[in-house]
Amino acid sequence: MSGAGTFVPATVRAVRAVADEVRQVELVPDDGARPYPPGSHLDLALEVDGLPVVRSYSVVGAAPDDGAYRIAVKLLPESRGGSRRVHGLAAGDRLELRHPTSHFELDPRRPGYLLVAGGIGITPLVGMAEVLARRHPHQAPVRLAYAGRRRAAMPFVEHLRALLGDDAVVTAAGEDGERLDLAAEVAALHADGEAYLCGPPRLTDAVRACWEAQGRPPRRLRTETFGTAGRHPTEPFDVEVRDHGLTVHVPRDRTLLGALHDAGVGMVWDCLRGECGLCTVRVLGRSTDGQPVVDHRDVFLDAAEREDSTRLCACVSRAVGGRLAIDTGYRP
């Protein structure tokens, strides 16, 4: 019997488009799919840019009854390569996965629920909506607020409307000039209700601000990490590695860690998700106006450290164009 933390072989059963640039992949592990709570994620062992990596993806829908796990992945040109690798999968391909686990579990005892998603952040909320929809309709009201840049790139909308009802699902597409009224959505939630949120940093910050402004308890707002989204467009940049006496160019489609690896700069790393902090380097240079030149995309550094911008996690974070000077800690 393999443990939850063990990688097991799996087969890709099917791949299909569920929205523009979003593919749903069905994965059948050799030892069988297992029940999991809504909000769970699974890990895939992949190779990206010549490096072995582990990427985590939310499992779409409630626990499987047909032997397969489903993930939905958006093709992100600004990603670290995982989405490109997954979009290249086809039926019959073999890979390894870890069975689903959850740090984002649904509390089924609340008197009301607000689900808030941004972009591909909808994936962990689909299973929650399915579980809540199976309850008596008057047991606990459920609303879903879903924002995306383009309506055609927002998957599962019709499925969610069928589950929760048209009046319970509100969507906003940036291309149409639409925005969610987050303050109104939070205000409409039962005083003892709970909100579940998955999306990019700006959406997360906005929901938290509304939540705090209305005096709601922090423990009733649950969030899923969306750690690599970035607050700025991904751009190429140069990095001066002062302890090695060389300058490295970091292309738009390469991470700083990957570019350092290509240049022969020895680095310590593990998670490649901005979580463990092993690849952290010192930032020695700032822009001329005194503002940090780092787009922090990790979940390792705290808010004060990000504001200070004297360190960055090389596996995910980047410079906002231009040139950056760092010290990797190497001493000959």
* Spatial separation of the C-alpha atoms in residues 274 and 263, rounded to whole Å: 21
Q: What is residue 3's predicted lDDT score, i.e. its pLDDT?
A: 41
Identify each DSSP E strand in the chain by its residue range.
8-19, 22-29, 41-48, 51-58, 69-74, 94-101, 113-118, 142-148, 169-173, 194-198, 221-224, 237-241, 246-250, 280-283, 294-295, 311-313, 318-319, 323-327
Residue type, 64: P
Show which of 224, 253, 276 is a domain's final residue. 224
Show which of 100, 130, 154 is a domain's final residue. 100
* Spatial separation of the C-alpha atoms in residues 294 and 321, rounded to whole Å: 9
* Spatial separation of the C-alpha atoms in residues 59 and 38, rounded to whole Å: 8
Show which of 224, 259, 283 is a domain's final residue. 224
Q: What is residue 69's predicted lDDT score, i.e. its pLDDT?
A: 97
Same domain, 138 and 68: no
* Spatial separation of the C-alpha atoms in residues 290 and 279, rounded to whole Å: 25
Q: Does residue 261 belong to any structural domain of this protein?
A: yes
| DSSP single-letter state for residue 23 | E
What CATH number is attached to the domain comprising 163? 3.40.50.80
Q: Does residue 185 belong to any structural domain of this protein?
A: yes
Same domain, 242 and 312: yes
Q: Does residue 203 belong to any structural domain of this protein?
A: yes
Q: Does residue 231 belong to any structural domain of this protein?
A: no
Same domain, 250 and 215: no
What tens digit of pLDDT does each residue of 60-94 get?
Answer: 998 788 999 999 999 976 665 688 889 999 999 99
Q: What is residue 1's predicted lDDT score, i.e. its pLDDT?
A: 29
Confidence of residue 306 (pLDDT cuts 50, 70, 90): confident
Confidence of residue 234 (pLDDT cuts 50, 70, 90): confident
* Spatial separation of the C-alpha atoms in residues 49 and 185, rounded to whole Å: 42
Q: Is the predicted pLDDT of residue 316 greater than 90, yes or no?
A: no
Same domain, 16 and 84: yes
What CATH number is attached to the domain comprising 61? 2.40.30.10
Alpha-carbon distances, residue 307 vs 43, 91, 201, 302 (angstroms): 31, 45, 15, 9
What CATH number is attached to the domain comprising 299? 3.10.20.30
Q: Does residue 218 belong to any structural domain of this protein?
A: yes
Most confident of the ranges 86-100, 260-274, 311-325: 86-100
How high does pLDDT run on average in the chain?
89
Q: What is residue 288's predicted lDDT score, i.e. its pLDDT?
A: 47
Please check whether residue 290 is in contact with residue 269, taking contact to mean a CB–CB distance below 8 angstroms: no
Q: Is the predicted pLDDT of residue 130 greater than 50, yes or no?
A: yes
Same domain, 241 and 196: no
Same domain, 161 and 220: yes
- Domain extent, residue 206, equals 113-224
Q: Does residue 105 belong to any structural domain of this protein?
A: no
Q: Does residue 34 belong to any structural domain of this protein?
A: yes
Q: Is the predicted pLDDT of residue 292 greater than 90, yes or no?
A: no
The first and second tokens of residue 4, run together, are 């939850």
Q: How many CB atoms lie within 10 A of CB 238?
A: 15
Q: Is 140 helix (H, G, I), strand (E, B) or coil?
A: coil
Q: Does residue 332 belong to any structural domain of this protein?
A: no
Most confident of the ranges 49-53, 103-107, 215-219: 215-219
Question: How many helices (H) does the chain have, and how many strands (E)?
Answer: 7, 18
* Spatial separation of the C-alpha atoms in residues 112 and 99, rounded to whole Å: 30
* Spatial separation of the C-alpha atoms in residues 293 and 136, rounded to whole Å: 51
Residues above pLDDT 70, as percent of the chain:
92
Domain count, the chain: 3
